[in-house]
């Protein structure tokens, strides 16, 4: 079990390093970087490579934003397998990405209890 | 002074980002966040009925909850300044983008402000996630139909 | 770089801890007793780190933990073991899982010494859990 | 480009109020008030911004013992959409008002207009200045306050401050404005909104050059040439441009930048301060007080502004910049 933590750390760290390189060397804004990584996650899942990565690194693969592209693609492909072409469209949110729903709910709650503050430390 | 000449001067004066330092910081902070995610996963597996396959969802939701607290207290932007992609790439960064926009636009009301601006920053991630998922699944469907690969 | 100084020793300690945590590699609980046979079957596969088998009557739950470096093949290896057990025990209802949760629960069954009459329900419950999709 | 004021309108008083973070500024001792609450006890950032402008104007008027009714014109602006904080402050101050937008160069462009009105004989007293409030500007031009994006070393920190000057007919014992230069809009093809200093430096250079040339002056005729908010890197670039133009390095010691000095050497603020309030706060507190004390006899204040919007940046436009200058003397 302990090794899973080590792998989660390393794989998660490496995905973040890819993001940092996109920002620093590629001169991308955070929004461009995250979008690129999401597309990357979707493509990796299309090639059947993302699930093995999750099996290997656990949260190291599910916590980075790439897993968002993975879960959407996974849903679409699972439905397409069952229901054909229509499934591609309907299956997307079948395997729900809890990231979105959590972000919406907590965003709403956060907006009610916090105020923006221009502090620096 | 000509434009080209000035651009030359600007290139000389402007410091390059400290690539190595930034990469190291992103690696360690990003890795650390994922390790916390692993701990949360383990927590859900041991105390609740989640398997390795299903623990991902509650883990992600919990991480976003942590992001809400840190964002609200103004700590996430400080982590972000230090870690760069290390805190932007994990799902907590996605949460931070949504939650910070929500908090920011609260002053314009819950409907027009929070509702209208919630995905101001994170919207592109949702867009590209869904669109790329659509095309990847479509391509795979076509490949399976013509018999190149199987599901 | 100060970070590196803190993290690397930490990782080293974690790895050491992992080495120390050597427990019983193979556990069988419940009836009937065919321990040796199952153990031999598992030992043939070197990707298996630890195994806990829960048996009751005709049902058999094989919870394995795959070695960290082989974990990326988890889905395939799970299937491979499943096939192997199905072949060996065609009359039994065998279920193989490499999921940590199932392994953890299986160990708990052993630890709590759950009685035979409840064992059947428990196994069905775990199989159902393991089959759950995200 | 250069306007010479025959009547030499005087800068009678300055009013500067700033936010809590500005307590760290090396200039904070010169400010009239530094508040603990960045929203001035108001509900929204924009309301706080408005309140800050009102208070700055009131401080300036109080110093000359005059009321709102005695002031003929109010010239000013800020960086928020349609400049609502300044517009709303003008509503509450009830002084005839024109809103001006020259981005961070508004602190000087407003003074130039006020001087022209004074020169015309249309005004005995007029208020001119600019302001910025960190939270409301950041959210408009960049990201929400609590968003964790990594700012590069070239970035600058938008100041929370309002600076307004009271301008009146010439009086011997006050600093007086002899001449002004209205700058062109200069675009050297810079497009990084996190590197404003680089975009603005050429504008400052051209305005200073034009002013010196047409006034037949050299840099050493001034005790101080103070630019608005180029930041540490922008100032470096400006000096570099002068050096390439044949000016010796030792002549450039009197060329300083308010944004580069504003927060001292604190690395948390990257390249320094920016925002319309940055130049206004320093010009109308530190500089005026130093001139009245006799430390400086002839000063050139050059406020620089980056004329971009989030829209123009996202559409891939480069950043045009401007710089306006006023020459102030003290007998």
Q: Could you tell me which chains touch chain D, where touching means 3 or more CB pairs under 8 A? A: A, B
Q: Which residues of C touch B24 (CB under 8 A)?
A: 1, 3-4
For residue C41, the model assigns a pLDDT of 85
Distance between CA atoms of residues C96 and C119, nearest Å: 17
Chains D and B touch (3+ CB pairs under 8 A): yes
Look up residue A1 and give its two tokens: 């079990």
Please spell the DSSP secondary structure of chain A, one letter per residue.
-HHHHHHHHHHHHHHHHHHHHHHHTS---HHHHHHHHHHHHHHHHHTT-HHHHHHHHTHHHHSBTHHHHHHHHHHHHHHHHHHTHHHHHHSTTTS--HHHHHHHHHHHHHHHH--------
For D241, the closest of B1, B80, B105 (CB atoms) is: B1
Is it the case that residue C18 has pLDDT exceeding 60? no
Do B81 and B68 belong together in one domain? yes
Distance between CA atoms of residues B71 and B49, nearest Å: 30
Distance between CA atoms of residues A1 and A59, nearest Å: 13
Structural domain boundaries of chain C? Answer: 23-131
Q: Do C75 and A52 touch (CB under 8 A)?
A: yes
Do B92 and B106 belong together in one domain? yes
Closest to D280 measured CA to CA, from D115, D130, D100: D130
Write out pLDDT tens, residues D217-265.
Answer: 999 999 999 999 999 999 999 999 999 999 998 889 999 999 999 999 9
- With beta carbons less than 8 A apart as the criterion, state whether D131 and D56 touch: yes
Is it the case that residue C3 has pLDDT exceeding 70? no
Residue count (chain A): 121
- pTM comes to 0.91
Distance, first Cα to last Cα, chain D: 25
Q: Which residues of A touch C100 (CB under 8 A)?
A: 1
Q: Which residues of B touch D198 (CB under 8 A)?
A: 10, 13-14
CATH hierarchy code of domain D2-168: 3.40.47.40
Is it the case that residue C7 has pLDDT exceeding 80? no
Per-residue pLDDT of chain B in tens (151 residues, 90 and over written 9): 788 999 999 999 999 999 999 999 999 999 999 999 999 999 999 999 999 988 999 999 999 999 999 999 999 999 999 999 999 999 999 999 999 999 999 999 999 999 999 999 999 999 999 999 999 999 999 999 998 888 7
Q: Do A52 and C74 touch (CB under 8 A)?
A: yes
Band the pLDDT of C40: cuts 50, 70, 90: confident
Q: Count of B–C CB contacts within 8 Å?
A: 36
Q: Which neighbouring-strand residues pair with C27?
A: C52
Q: Is B143 on the interface with A (CB under 8 A)?
A: no
Band the pLDDT of C14: cuts 50, 70, 90: low
Do B68 and B106 belong together in one domain? yes
Write out pLDDT tens, residues B118-147.
Answer: 999 999 999 999 999 999 999 999 999 998
- With beta carbons less than 8 A apart as the criterion, state whether D85 and D106 touch: no
Share of chain D above pLDDT 70, in %: 100
Q: If you compute the radius of gyration of chain C from its CA atoms, what whole number of angstroms results?
A: 17
Band the pLDDT of C8: cuts 50, 70, 90: low
Do B67 and B113 belong together in one domain? yes
For residue B74, the model assigns a pLDDT of 92
Interface of C with B (CB under 8 A): 1, 3-4, 7, 99-102, 104, 129-130, 132-134
Residue A107's domain comprises 2-113
The answer as to whether A85 is a domain residue is yes
Do B18 and B62 belong together in one domain? yes
List the Cα angle D307/D120/D165 in 5-degree steps: 55
Do B61 and B108 belong together in one domain? yes
Do B134 and B115 belong together in one domain? no
Do B34 and B67 belong together in one domain? yes
Which CATH superfamily groups domain D176-329? Answer: Stage V sporulation protein AD (3.40.47.40)
Band the pLDDT of C20: cuts 50, 70, 90: very low
Instruction: Pinpoint the residues of chain D covered by CATH 3.40.47.40.
Output: 2-168, 176-329
Q: Using the 8-state DSSP alphabet, how is residue D163 labeled?
A: E
Do B44 and B114 belong together in one domain? yes
Residue of B nearest to A54 (CA): B53
Q: Which residues of B touch D236 (CB under 8 A)?
A: 13
Do B29 and B76 belong together in one domain? yes
Closest to D107 measured CA to CA, from D138, D135, D75, D134: D75
The answer as to whether A118 is a domain residue is no
Is it the case that residue A121 has pLDDT exceeding 80? no
Distance between CA atoms of residues D187 and D317, nearest Å: 10
Q: Do C130 and B50 touch (CB under 8 A)?
A: no
Look up residue B107 and give its two tokens: 């002053």
Q: Which of residues 49-108 of A touch B (CB under 8 A)?
A: 54-55, 57-60, 62-69, 71-73, 75-77, 80-81, 84-85, 88-89, 91-92, 96-104, 106-108
CATH hierarchy code of domain C23-131: 3.30.300
User: Average pLDDT, stretch D289-314?
Assistant: 95
How many domains does chain B fold into? 2
Please spell the DSSP secondary structure of D187-252, one letter per residue.
--S---TT-HHHHHHHHHHHHHHHHHHHTT--GGG-SEEEESS-HHHHHHHHHHHHHHTT--GGGG
For residue C9, the model assigns a pLDDT of 60
Do B58 and B99 belong together in one domain? yes
* Closest CA–CA distance from residue B111 to any residue of chain A (Å): 10
Other Cβ atoms within 10 Å of D272 Cβ, number:
28
Distance between CA atoms of residues D102 and D209, nearest Å: 20
User: Average pLDDT, stretch D288-304?
Assistant: 96
Is it the case that residue C55 has pLDDT exceeding 90? no
Do B90 and B150 belong together in one domain? no
Residue B61's domain comprises 3-120
- With beta carbons less than 8 A apart as the criterion, state whether B95 and A106 touch: yes
**For chain B, how are helix, strand and coil distributed in percent, rounded to 5?**
80, 0, 20
Other Cβ atoms within 10 Å of C106 Cβ, number:
24
Q: State how beta strands D97-99 and D255-257 pair.
A: unpaired
């Amino acid at each position: 079990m302990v090794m899973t933590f080590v792998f989660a750390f390393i794989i998660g760290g490496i995905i973040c390093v890819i993001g940092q390189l996109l920002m620093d060397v590629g001169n991308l804004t955070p929004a461009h970087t995250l979008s690129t990584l999401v597309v990357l996650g979707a493509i990796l899942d299309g090639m059947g490579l993302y699930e093995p990565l999750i099996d290997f690194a656990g949260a190291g693969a599910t916590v980075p934003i790439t897993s968002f592209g993975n879960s959407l693609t996974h849903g679409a492909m699972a439905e397409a397998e069952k229901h054909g072409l229509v499934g591609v469209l309907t299956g997307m949110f079948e395997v729900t990405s809890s990231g979105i729903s959590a972000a919406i709910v907590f965003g709403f709650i956060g907006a009610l209890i916090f105020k923006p503050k221009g502090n620096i430390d | 002074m000509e434009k080209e000449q000035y651009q030359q001067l600007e290139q000389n004066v402007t410091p390059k980002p400290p690539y190595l330092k930034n990469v190291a910081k992103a690696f360690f902070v990003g890795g650390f966040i994922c390790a916390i995610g692993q701990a949360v996963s383990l927590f859900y597996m041991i105390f609740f009925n989640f398997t390795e396959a299903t623990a991902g969802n509650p883990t992600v939701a919990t991480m976003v909850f942590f992001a809400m607290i840190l964002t609200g207290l103004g700590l996430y932007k400080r982590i972000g300044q230090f870690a760069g992609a290390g805190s932007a790439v994990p799902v907590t960064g996605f949460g931070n983008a949504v939650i910070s926009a929500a908090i920011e636009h609260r002053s314009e009301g819950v409907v027009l402000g929070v509702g209208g601006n919630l995905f101001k920053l994170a919207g592109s991630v949702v867009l590209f996630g869904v669109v790329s998922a659509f095309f990847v699944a479509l391509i795979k469907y076509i490949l399976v139909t013509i018999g190149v690969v199987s599901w | 770089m100060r970070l590196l100084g803190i993290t690397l020793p930490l990782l080293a300690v974690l790895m050491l801890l992992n080495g120390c945590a050597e427990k019983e590699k193979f556990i069988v609980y419940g009836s009937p007793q065919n321990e040796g046979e199952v153990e031999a079957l598992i030992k043939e596969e070197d990707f298996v780190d630890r195994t806990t088998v829960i048996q009751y009557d005709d049902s058999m739950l094989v919870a394995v933990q795959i070695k960290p470096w082989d974990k990326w093949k988890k889905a395939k290896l799970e299937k491979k073991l499943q096939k192997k057990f199905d072949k060996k025990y065609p009359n039994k209802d065998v279920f193989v899982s490499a999921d940590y949760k199932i392994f953890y629960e299986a160990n708990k069954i052993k630890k709590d010494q759950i009685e035979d009459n409840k064992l059947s329900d428990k196994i069905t419950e775990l199989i159902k859990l393991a089959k759950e999709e995200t | 480009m250069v306007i010479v004021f025959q009547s030499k309108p005087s800068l009678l008083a300055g009013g500067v109020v700033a936010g809590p973070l500005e307590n760290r500024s090396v200039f904070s001792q010169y400010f009239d008030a530094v508040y603990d609450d960045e929203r001035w006890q108001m509900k929204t950032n924009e309301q706080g911004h408005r309140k800050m402008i009102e208070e700055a104007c009131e401080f300036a008027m109080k110093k000359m013992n005059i009321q709102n009714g005695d002031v003929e014109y109010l010239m000013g602006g800020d960086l928020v959409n349609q400049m609502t904080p300044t517009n709303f402050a003008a509503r509450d101050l009830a002084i005839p008002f024109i809103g001006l937008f020259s981005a961070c160069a508004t602190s000087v462009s407003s003074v130039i207009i006020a001087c022209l009105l004074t020169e015309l004989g249309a005004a005995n007293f007029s208020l001119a200045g600019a302001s910025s409030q960190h939270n409301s500007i950041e959210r408009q031009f960049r990201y929400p306050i609590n968003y964790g994006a990594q700012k590069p070393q070239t970035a600058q920190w938008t100041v929370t401050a309002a600076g307004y000057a009271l301008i009146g007919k010439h009086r011997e014992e006050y600093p007086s404005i002899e001449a002004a230069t209205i700058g062109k809009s200069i675009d050297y093809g810079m497009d990084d909104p996190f590197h404003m200093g680089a975009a603005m430096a050429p504008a400052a250079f051209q305005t200073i050059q034009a002013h010196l040339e047409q006034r037949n002056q050299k840099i050493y005729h001034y005790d101080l040439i103070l630019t608005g908010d180029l930041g540490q890197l922008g100032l470096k670039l400006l000096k570099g441009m002068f050096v390439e133009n044949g000016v010796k390095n030792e002549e450039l010691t009197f060329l300083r930048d308010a944004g580069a000095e504003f927060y001292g050497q604190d690395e948390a603020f990257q390249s320094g301060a920016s925002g319309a309030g940055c130049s206004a706060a320093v010009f109308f507190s530190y500089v005026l007080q130093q001139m009245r004390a006799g430390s400086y006899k002839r000063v050139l204040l050059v406020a620089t502004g980056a004329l971009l919007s989030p829209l123009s940046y996202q559409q891939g436009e480069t950043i045009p910049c401007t710089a306006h200058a006023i020459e102030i003397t003290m007998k």
